[in-house]
Amino acid sequence: MNNTANLTSHQDLWRNVTVANTTSFYRPAVDPVIGNVITVMFTIIIIITMVSLGCTMEVSKIKNYIMKPKGLAIAAMAQYGIMPLTAFCLVKGFQLSDITGVVVLVCGCCPGGIFSNSMALAIQGDMNLSIVMTSCSTMLALGMMPLLLYIYCQGFPSVQNAVPYGEIMLSLVLILVPCSIGIVIKTYRPQYSKKFTKVGMIIMLIILMGTLILIAFGSGHIILTMMSPSLLAIAGLMPLMGYCFGYVFSSIFRLIHRERRTVSMETGCQNVPLCTTILKVAFPDEVVGPLYLFPTVYLVFQLLEAAMIIMLFRCYQRFKRKEKAIKNSTFVTAEATQSGLSQNGKHGDKG
């Protein structure tokens, strides 16, 4: 049985400590009713996300990548090797407290998010690899996430026996149910899969916006207090390092450029709704406090940095096209000039 009471946190954020008797009592960071509504909303978001993800899965393509697993294996190593290690190094580097460190680790150990597929498309990556990588990393999360948390939590002696591994595994098992429903829809009713994905994404974004507004009204002041410079720095550095290291890692193994860009996006993009749901459901409120909102801040940086990388890539492409057009134009002009000189020479010889 997990003993979450062993976890220590930043008490000034959501505990009121009396000076007279040095006793403390728990004061919820968010109104209980609002907290319950937020939990329900995030649960709906993760269900829609996982059904939509299932609707993009094609068993035949997954089989093809399993038969030729080089790209998929490298992508999986990047996802579950780079991000957890990056999170651990940042936690140690910024000397975060135990529970804050665990929250960052949970975020770093999560599988890839469905937003990565849109990013891979925008950066002209390998869409088949992107979808298969997202699918497989979600399936692997059932074993890899608890294992990685157990390994990296050895660096925090006070939390080794306090992380609720059972609850985390239960949450991961439960998310596979809507994912399986999506696979069934894709397999037996493929004509509905694209429609469901589009409608599901619209509904999810509406609910997500509503949730963010509710969070802003219910605990906006707490978020501002909670987001210390170190947490903001980590939220900004983690996805950027994931994008960069993912590209470098896949380059070492000589994947083609489209696959490198795909691995880059998949590595830096985490499943934020899943991370938030795990923190909200698996950890008691008195332990995690408002820190369950950290993945939301991570998501903002994740999308902004991905947009910046995509924009730079597009600018680079446009520059290369212009450069190529100028070279071709110069070559054609030189060839025409040479041809003209040759013709003049022939006429001169005849004269």
What is the torsional sign of CA 190, 194, 195, 196? Answer: positive
Least confident of 97-111, 206-220, 230-244, 254-268: 206-220
N residues, the chain? 351
- Residue 239: per-residue pLDDT: 94
Q: How far apart are CA 1 and CA 168, in angstroms?
A: 13
116-133 residues labelled b (16+ CB within 10 A) or e (exposed): bbbbbebbebbebbbbbb
Q: How far apart are CA 304 and CA 315, in angstroms?
A: 17
141-158: per-residue pLDDT in tens? 888 888 898 888 887 766
% of the chain exceeding 90 in pLDDT = 15
Vertex 327: Cα angle to 326 and 332 (nearest 5): 95
Q: How far apart are CA 302 and CA 246, in angstroms?
A: 14
pTM of structure: 0.74
| Contact partners, residue 38, CB within 8 Å, separation at least 6 | 30, 211, 214, 215, 218, 280
Least confident of 279-293, 306-320, 325-339: 325-339
β-pairing verdict for 15-17 and 24-26: antiparallel
Q: How far apart are CA 277 and CA 274, in angstroms?
A: 5
Pair of tokens at residue 228: 């210390």
- Residue 26: per-residue pLDDT: 42
Q: 4-306, which class in CATH?
A: mainly alpha
SS3 90: helix
What residues does each domain of the chain span?
A: 4-306
- Residue 75: per-residue pLDDT: 82
Nearest to 309 by CA among 119, 48, 83: 119
pLDDT at 104 over 60: yes
pLDDT at 270 over 60: yes
| Contact partners, residue 126, CB within 8 Å, separation at least 6 | 71, 120, 258, 259, 261, 262
Least confident of 22-36, 76-90, 175-189: 22-36
